[in-house]
C-alpha cells in the first residue's frame, strides 16, 4: 500500500511537471504568458492531500471491479478506510479484517470458477451438435470456416497466423487482427488446443476452435489477465504460413589427421671401429 501511495504521489508530480513544461514551450517568447494559479484549498498540503485521495480512490475503484463476484459496498469501503487512516476505533481488529477478507475472496473465487466451469461444460455439450462442428478425441471442437488444401504443420514447426480470441460472452481478450499484425510462434509452445487444432489446417484456411479449459489455460487461468480459471475459449484462426522445422545437422567431428611417421632413427654407428686384432 505504501508503495502504491508513493507511486501515485510521484505520478501526480510528474504529470504536473510535464504539463507546466508543455505550457512553457507553447508560450510566445516575446510576450510573458499570464500565470494562473488554481487554489483548491487554503494551502498546498491540503490541495495535495485531496489530489492524492482522488488518485488512490480511482486506483481502488479499479481494484474493486476485479474482486470476485464483482460486488462491494463502496460506502463501507470508504468508512473502513477513513477509520483506519484516522486511527479511530474500528469495528474489527486488523487481524480479523484480514481473515474476513481472505475468507470472502477464497469463497467468491471458488463460486466464480465453479460457475465458469459449469458454463463451459454446458456450452460445449450444446455446441458439439451444432452444424459443421467436429469434436476430436481430446474434446477440442472446431469448425472449418475457409477450407484449403496443402501441407499441414507439425508441432515442431513455426506458424504464422492471424487470430481473434473471445470469451463465451463474446468479449475479445486478444486479437492480432485488431493489432493489424500477424504473429509467428513455434506450434509446440502454445496451449494444447492450439497445438492440436492448427495441425489440422493448411495455409490459407480459417478455422474456428472451441477450446475446453483443460486444453486452454487450465484451472488457474491467466494470472492477473482476462482469462479466469476453467474458462472455455473461442478462437478464429487463419493460417498464413508454415516454417518447417529442420533437424539440426549432427555435429561431425573433424577427421583426425595423423602425422606421417618419422623415419626410424639410424642406429648410432660406433664412433671408432676397433682394429682387428692379430691372430696369435
Contact criterion met (CB below 8 Å) for 160 and 183: yes
> Catalytic pick from 142, 174, 213, 230?
174
Annotated active-site residue 81? The verdict is no
- Cell digits of residue 18: 510535464
> Catalytic pick from 210, 230, 235, 242?
235
Contact criterion met (CB below 8 Å) for 230 and 120: yes
Q: Where are the beta strands (DSSP E) in 147-205?
A: 158-166, 172-175, 183-186
Euclidean distance between CA atoms 78 and 216, whole angstroms: 39
Q: What are phi and psi of 128, to 5 degrees?
A: -60, -25
Contact criterion met (CB below 8 Å) for 184 and 190: no
CA atoms within 13 A of residue 117's CA, in its CB half-sphere: 13
Which contacts (CB < 8 Å, 24+ apart) does range 63-70 have?
Answer: 67/105, 67/108, 68/105, 68/108, 68/109, 68/111, 68/112, 69/108, 69/111, 69/112
Annotated active-site residue 217? The verdict is yes
> Catalytic pick from 163, 207, 209, 213?
163
Annotated active-site residue 207? The verdict is no
> Catalytic pick from 217, 227, 230, 242?
217
> Catalytic pick from 81, 104, 123, 173?
173
How distant, in Å, are the alpha carbons of 76, 118, 169, 219, 235 from that of 123? 38, 9, 11, 17, 15
Annotated active-site residue 173? The verdict is yes
- Cell digits of residue 145: 470456416
Annotated active-site residue 174? The verdict is yes
> Catalytic pick from 60, 81, 191, 245?
191
Terminal C-alpha separation, the chain: 122
Catalytically annotated residues: 163, 173-174, 191, 217, 235
Amino acid at each position: 500500500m505504501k508503495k502504491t501511495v508513493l507511486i501515485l504521489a510521484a505520478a501526480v508530480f510528474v504529470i504536473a511537471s510535464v504539463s507546466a513544461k508543455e505550457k512553457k514551450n507553447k508560450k510566445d517568447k516575446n510576450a510573458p504568458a499570464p500565470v494562473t494559479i488554481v487554489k483548491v484549498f487554503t494551502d498546498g498540503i491540503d490541495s495535495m492531500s485531496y489530489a492524492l485521495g482522488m488518485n488512490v480512490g480511482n486506483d481502488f475503484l479499479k481494484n474493486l471491479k476485479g474482486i470476485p463476484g464483482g460486488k462491494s459496498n463502496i460506502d463501507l469501503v470508504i468508512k473502513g478506510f477513513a477509520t483506519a487512516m484516522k486511527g479511530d476505533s474500528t469495528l474489527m481488529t486488523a487481524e480479523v479484517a484480514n481473515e474476513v477478507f481472505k475468507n470472502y475472496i477464497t469463497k467468491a473465487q471458488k463460486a466464480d470458477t465453479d460457475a465458469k466451469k459449469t458454463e463451459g461444460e454446458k456450452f460445449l455439450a450444446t455446441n458439439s451438435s451444432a452444424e459443421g462442428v467436429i469434436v476430436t478425441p481430446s474434446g477440442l471442437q472446431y469448425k472449418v470456416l475457409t477450407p484449403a488444401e496443402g501441407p499441414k504443420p507439425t508441432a515442431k514447426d513455426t506458424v504464422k497466423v492471424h487470430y481473434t480470441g473471445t470469451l463465451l460472452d463474446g468479449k475479445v481478450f486478444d486479437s492480432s487482427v485488431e493489432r493489424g499484425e500477424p504473429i509467428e510462434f513455434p506450434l509446440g509452445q502454445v496451449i494444447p488446443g492450439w497445438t492440436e487444432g492448427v495441425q489440422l489446417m493448411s495455409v490459407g484456411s480459417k478455422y474456428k476452435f472451441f477450446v475446453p479449459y483443460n486444453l486452454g489455460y487450465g484451472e488457474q487461468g491467466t494470472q492477473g489477465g482476462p482469462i479466469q480459471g476453467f474458462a472455455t475459449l473461442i478462437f478464429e484462426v487463419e493460417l498464413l504460413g508454415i516454417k518447417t522445422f529442420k533437424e539440426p545437422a549432427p555435429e561431425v567431428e573433424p577427421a583426425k589427421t595423423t602425422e606421417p611417421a618419422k623415419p626410424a632413427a639410424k642406429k648410432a654407428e660406433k664412433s671408432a671401429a676397433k682394429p682387428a686384432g692379430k691372430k696369435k
